[in-house]
Amino acid sequence: MNEDILYKALGKRVKYLREQRKLTQEELAEKCLLSLDYIGKIEVNINRPGLRALIKISNALDVEIKELFNFSEIE
C-alpha cells in the first residue's frame, strides 16, 4: 500500500471510529488534546499524523493503536 493510500485510509478509519462513538470532531480533538483543525485535516488526508498524535487519537477513541489501521471496515 503506498503512502498516500495509507493516509487516506487512516483518515477514513479515524472518522469511522469517531462517528461510531457519536463524537464530533471537536469532541475528539478535546479528548486527545489536539486542535479541531488538525483532526479535520487528518480525516480528509491533508495532515499526516505522527506516532504521538496516533497514540492520543487511539486513547481518545478507546482502541488499541492497531485498530486505527484495520481498514476492512471502511469503504
Q: How far is CA 53 from the centre of its chain?
A: 9
pLDDT of residue 72: 82
Quote the percentage of the chain above a pLDDT of 90.
Answer: 87
Q: Which residue has the cell 486542535?
A: 35
The tally of domains found in the chain comes to 1
Domain CATH code at residue 53: 1.10.260.40
Comparing CA positions, the residue from 37, 44, 46, 53 lying closest to residue 13 is 44
pLDDT of residue 60: 98
User: pLDDT tens across 10-41, in order?
Assistant: 999 999 999 999 999 999 999 999 999 999 99
pLDDT of residue 73: 65
Task: Identify the domain containing residue 11 by its residue range.
Answer: 3-73
Single pTM value for the model: 0.92
